[in-house]
Amino acid sequence: MTKSPVYFVARKEGKFEQSFKYKLEKIIGQLGLKEEIREGGRVAVKVHFGQEGNTTFIRPLYVRLLVDQLKKMGAKPFVCDTTGVGFKTTRSNKIDALNLAYMHGFNPLTLSCPVVIADGPVGLSGVEVRVNGLLKKAKVAEDIFYSDYIISLAHFKGHPRTGFGGALKNIGLGAVDKETKARIHLKENPRVKREKCNGCMKCLQMCPVKAISMEEGKARINSEKCAWGCGCWEVCPEAISQWMEMHDTNNNLTVKMIDSFSAVYSAKGKENFSFINILHNITPHCDCSPFSDKPVTADIGIMASKDPLSLDLCSLDIVNAELREKENTNFLQKVFEKDYLREFLAQGKPNPEIIEKYGEEKGIGNKEYELIELQL
């Protein structure tokens, strides 16, 4: 079987010509972006803008350098992320998510292009794509769906559910709307515990799709109408099932993340994607975390590929090799030795083999890769 090329530029720098700008230029040349992106093409650069409190998301400067290069090619880039699940968090709607993005340095002045929350005002604007998996449908965030080309610029780091997060997570969980995110995380939609409901109607007032009605003085959620992810459980911890009660197993979540990725991939066409992983600040937790722990290893470098599965597996292997050599441990061990992540193990230890096997089965990519180190 042919191996997918994964390009790598190591973190070390000793002169201006080895700085991030030139590394990125080199990587972009290998990916063939100039040949693939048509003049005037609208290019979605998908990044994670970081949860409030997090400080280790991708540096806006890296994004700007990519935007500058895309503009030189004649493209029209925009930088985007999507809303987070819920109602009360600072990423749960477009206005709050944009304010937070601006605070984190992702704004039109720093990036010199539009900054977009791609799934609309409350995170429910997406285009539905059917998928034949554990997940039955995914809604691709509207602005990403209608772009001409997508570049995943992902921060590679640990993740409490899937073990690690890179390109697959950036698109499978990050390029879809709030409902799809919730369906990936959860096994069921929220329900009202009738005996605990006092009929205050607060949930009715906040539900954006009018899925809640009153029956004999108690709230009732219509499962057919419910969009799963809009956060009524945050408004009523007493009478509405809570996030951790609804949560699916780690393995199912991983499978559904890949289902969702394959939906986005098939909707846009593989040929319209490129993937770059930044292996800097490799924290145990993901960028949705409201804090940033110490990285598990020193910065490693930039990796890129046309094959997202190869890219993520290669990124994981290189982190593991670094940890094995220096500390005789591996990434997942290192991630789950953290006290604050141990509760997630209750739903099964994340298994990267699922990503490898199921990713290939779904046609996302190749688990066999060839690592090509580029010198500057």
- Residues lying near ligand SF4 in the complex (CB under 6 A): 189-190, 192, 197-203, 207, 209, 211-212, 219, 221, 226-228, 230, 232, 235-236, 239-240
Least distance (Å) from ligand SF4 to the CB of residue 302?
38
Residues 6+ apart with CB under 8 A from 260: 131, 135, 138, 172, 173, 176, 180, 184
Nearer to ligand SF4, 24 or 226 (CB): 226
Nearer to ligand SF4, 189 or 292 (CB): 189
- Residue 353 and residue 284: Cα distance in Å, rounded? 19
DSSP state of 230: S
How remote is the C-alpha of 63 from its chain's centroid? Answer: 16
Least distance (Å) from ligand SF4 to the CB of residue 75?
36
How far, CA to CA in Å, does 183 sit from each of 13, 98, 172, 340? 43, 24, 12, 24
Nearer to ligand SF4, 179 or 322 (CB): 179
Nearer to ligand SF4, 50 or 123 (CB): 123
**Contact criterion met (CB below 8 Å) for 348 and 250:** yes
Least distance (Å) from ligand SF4 to the CB of residue 133?
22
Least distance (Å) from ligand SF4 to the CB of residue 248?
15
Nearer to ligand SF4, 75 or 227 (CB): 227
* CA atoms 331, 304, 260, 142: torsion sign: positive
Task: Kindly write down the DSSP assignment for every residue of 105-128, as one continuous string.
Answer: T-SHHHHSS-EEETT-TTS--EEE
* CA atoms 14, 20, 25, 27: torsion sign: positive
**Contact criterion met (CB below 8 Å) for 246 and 190:** yes
Nearer to ligand SF4, 43 or 235 (CB): 235
Least distance (Å) from ligand SF4 to the CB of residue 289?
22
Least distance (Å) from ligand SF4 to the CB of residue 277?
32
Give residue number: closest CB to ligand SF4.
230
Least distance (Å) from ligand SF4 to the CB of residue 86?
9
Nearer to ligand SF4, 171 or 219 (CB): 219
Please state whether beta strands 42-46 and 301-305 pair in parallel, antiparallel, or not at all (unpaired): unpaired
